[in-house]
């Protein structure tokens, strides 16, 4: 699982958040009532004055400060008396880590949502161009008999009969489903009674036609 995740991240870096940059979307996007601001318990100056170690200067610094005070009071028996403080500190670290994971997952899902919207817009544009080209066949007395979508190996993905009269065809909505995840190739080109009508980034769409 880890290897597959790493390979996919290498091939598609746009799908995964960059931990060195931080969130790229509006933090309030999707929160109609706003979000609670997460603030540190101490300022950097206060942490330095309280002698809190550098690796503990985070959102749980106040819990670590409580451990420091407990150890100073109960040494050498701090292990008997400071368990509540240590437990509270570890719970705070867990909650802080969960917040980081949730923010990372939010960023990842918003990136995937943006990619899906861009792909849909691109696919809709290709279908609109296809519809325009199909309608132009009426101008040269060519009747469309059916639509074929092929993958990179020339295998037919869909082949549905279509009764076409002047105007848009009803199959375009079905074509959108077939275009998902297919690669570019040239299919059904220069074949008798078949005309290549459009080549998208996902597949090739060809039309069965005959002259009136």
Region for residue 58 given its phi and psi (left: phi exceeds 0; alpha: psi -120 to 50; beta: otherwise):
beta
pLDDT of 70 reads 94
User: For 159, phi and psi rounded to 5 degrees?
Assistant: -150, 95
Lowest-pLDDT range of 44-48, 53-57, 86-90, 208-212: 208-212
pLDDT grade for 197, boundaries at 50, 70 and 90: very low
pLDDT of 202 reads 41
Bridge partner list, 160: 147
**Whole-number Å distance between alpha carbons of 92 and 63:** 8
User: For 64, phi and psi rounded to 5 degrees?
Assistant: -70, -35
Burial class for 95, CB neighbours closer than 10 Å (0-12, 13-18, 19+): exposed
What is the tens place of the pLDDT at every residue in 122-169? 777 766 776 676 666 555 555 555 555 544 444 444 444 433 333 333
Closest C-alpha among 164, 136, 161 to residue 147: 161
Cα–Cα distances (Å) from 205 to 13, 42, 134, 148, in that order, read 30, 63, 11, 6
User: Cβ(164)–Cβ(143) under 8 Å?
Assistant: yes
Domain boundaries, the chain: 2-121, 140-211
């Amino acid at each position: 699982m880890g290897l597959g995740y790493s390979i996919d991240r290498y091939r598609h870096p746009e799908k995964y958040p960059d931990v060195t940059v931080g969130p790229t979307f509006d933090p309030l996007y999707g929160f109609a009532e706003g979000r609670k601001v997460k603030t540190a318990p101490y300022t950097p100056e206060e942490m330095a004055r309280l002698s809190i170690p550098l690796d503990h200067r985070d959102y749980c610094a106040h819990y670590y400060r409580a451990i420091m005070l407990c150890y100073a009071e109960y040494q050498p028996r701090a292990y008997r008396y400071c368990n509540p403080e240590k437990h509270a500190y570890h719970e705070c670290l867990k909650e802080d880590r969960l917040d980081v994971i949730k923010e990372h997952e939010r960023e990842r899902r918003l990136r995937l949502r943006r990619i899906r919207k861009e792909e849909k817009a691109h696919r809709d544009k290709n279908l609109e161009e296809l519809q325009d080209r199909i309608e132009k066949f009426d101008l040269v007395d060519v009747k469309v008999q059916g639509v074929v979508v092929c993958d990179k190996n020339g295998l037919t993905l869909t082949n549905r009969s279509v009764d076409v009269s002047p105007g848009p065809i009803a199959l375009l909505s079905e074509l959108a489903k077939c275009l998902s995840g297919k690669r570019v190739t040239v299919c059904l080109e220069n074949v008798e009674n078949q005309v290549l009508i459009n080549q998208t980034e996902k597949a090739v769409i060809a039309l069965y036609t005959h002259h009136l």
